Amino acid sequence: MNSTSQVNASEAARAAATASSRDAFVRIENVVKKFGDSTAVNNVSLNIAKNELFALLGSSGCGKSTLLRMLAGLETATSGKIYVDGEDLASLPPYRRPVNMMFQSYALFPHMSVETNVAFGLKQEGVPKNEIKERVADALNLVQMSRYAKRKPHQLSGGQQQRVALARSLVKRPKLLLLDEPMSALDKKIRQKTQLELVNIIEKVDVTCVMVTHDQEEAMTMANRLAVMSEGRIVQIGSPSEVYEFPNSRFSAEFIGSTNLFEGKVVEDEPDHIFVESEDLETRMYVSHGVTGPLGMPVGISVRPERVRVTREKPGTANNWARGVVTDVAYMGSYSLYHVRLPGGKVVVSNLSSSHLMNEGAPAWNDDVYVSWAPSSGVVLTA
């Protein structure tokens, strides 16, 4: 319809080009997995490029682990195909699959030292002793655990155990590394540090990585691209910023980050903008990008909290604002979250930089205020 739709389309094309089916390293085609009557994975198609770090994201039970287990060859698809490096996974015997999976619990052997844990898989494969020694040393070096080689797992912190588990996966030199909730055992602070470490390590080795998480921040920080899943289906695929800035549905908008969602109807459709009327707002919404559809079409408009201004002064524009009352101000450190209740009862959330609030005259609890946003800040959602 207009400039941003074009940006959207070209970004989508670029995202698709990074993993077109021609050069995709992992190709998932129409995969369905049923357990009895229930469908855990419902017709998923997805391409993942070589050396990509791809995240599967979604709420509990949406089918993430099941899809990952199929990539690992631990489950067989009810229908559909999975190709890794051009080969049909189902036709490869397990030992020829170039895949390694790191499980939700790291499953380190408690009675073995760190180095014996890491060496275990290679020994089973009958790799010569000298080579095992070298590869284990390299892997431990990579995850910066060389000086803990002789320790037992219970003598390590959670983050250290996680790195040993990663070394144990990488030492086998898989082409495809699968991580199921790799950080779930770690507390928040260590988690954030470990996320960056993990990305650095993965970038150093020649590996393609698919990671499952239900933590959207984790997926946003770590992944090159991500897929948002719901009830066994993929809702949206894109880079973290594409999915955040251009959610394709109410589900994506609310799942990735938080958002203000206004329900309304298209009342005017011009080449470079649309107008939407919502019962929640006294002014019309002027949105500078979106979709073309018949007048009267119901749409959702998503406006991210950091795009919403809260002022005492009435905005100088005819659209995109509403009167309200501050019902809550939560100081979060570098920013503060404002809750502003509109006359109709809807609460609009705004994320304001705390330095801005140092100004005298910053709105406070119980103040009469205006919330407003720019025409480019609204994203039109039809799904």
Ligand X SMILES: Nc1ncnc2c1ncn2[C@@H]1O[C@H](COP(=O)(O)OP(=O)(O)OP(=O)(O)O)[C@@H](O)[C@H]1O
Write down the least CB distance from residue 219 to ligand X, Å.
12
The C-alpha atoms of residue 87 and residue 363 are separated, in whole angstroms, by 61
Decide whether 60 or 355 has the Cβ nearer to ligand X: 60
- Give the x-and-dash track for 322-341 against ligand X (CB under 6 A): --------------------
Binding of residue 94 to ligand X (CB under 6 A): no
The C-alpha atoms of residue 328 and residue 340 are separated, in whole angstroms, by 7
Give me the residues that bind Mg ion (CB under 5 A), please. Answer: 65
Write down the least CB distance from residue 63 to ligand X, Å.
4
The C-alpha atoms of residue 25 and residue 86 are separated, in whole angstroms, by 7
The C-alpha atoms of residue 243 and residue 217 are separated, in whole angstroms, by 12
Among 27, 214, 309, 346, interactor with ligand X by CB under 6 A: 214
267: enclosing H helix or E strand: strand 260-270
- Collect all residues with Cβ–Cβ distance below 8 Å to 302 and sequence separation of at least 6: 247, 250, 253, 259, 260, 261, 378, 379, 381
Write down the least CB distance from residue 301 to ligand X, Å.
29
Residues that contact ligand X, how many (by CB under 6 A): 11
Sign of CA dihedral 11, 13, 15, 17: negative
Write down the least CB distance from residue 59 to ligand X, Å.
7
What single-letter amino acid sits at 357?
L
Binding of residue 40 to ligand X (CB under 6 A): yes
For ligand X, which stretch binds (CB under 6 A), given 24-32, 57-65, 259-267, 327-335?
Answer: 57-65
Binding of residue 60 to ligand X (CB under 6 A): yes
Binding of residue 216 to ligand X (CB under 6 A): no
26: enclosing H helix or E strand: strand 24-35
For ligand X, which stretch binds (CB under 6 A), given 53-61, 112-120, 202-210, 256-264?
Answer: 53-61
Decide whether 58 or 324 has the Cβ nearer to ligand X: 58
Binding of residue 346 to ligand X (CB under 6 A): no
Among 24, 63, 247, 248, interactor with ligand X by CB under 6 A: 63
- Report the Cα–Cα distance between both ends of the chain, in Å, rounded: 17
Angle at 51 (CA atoms; ends 24, 68), nearest 5 degrees: 70
Write down the least CB distance from residue 75 to ligand X, Å.
8
Could you tell me which residues are beta bridge partners of residue 32? 79
Residues 240-259 that bind ligand X (CB under 6 A): none
Residues that bind ligand X (CB under 6 A): 35, 40, 58, 60-66, 214
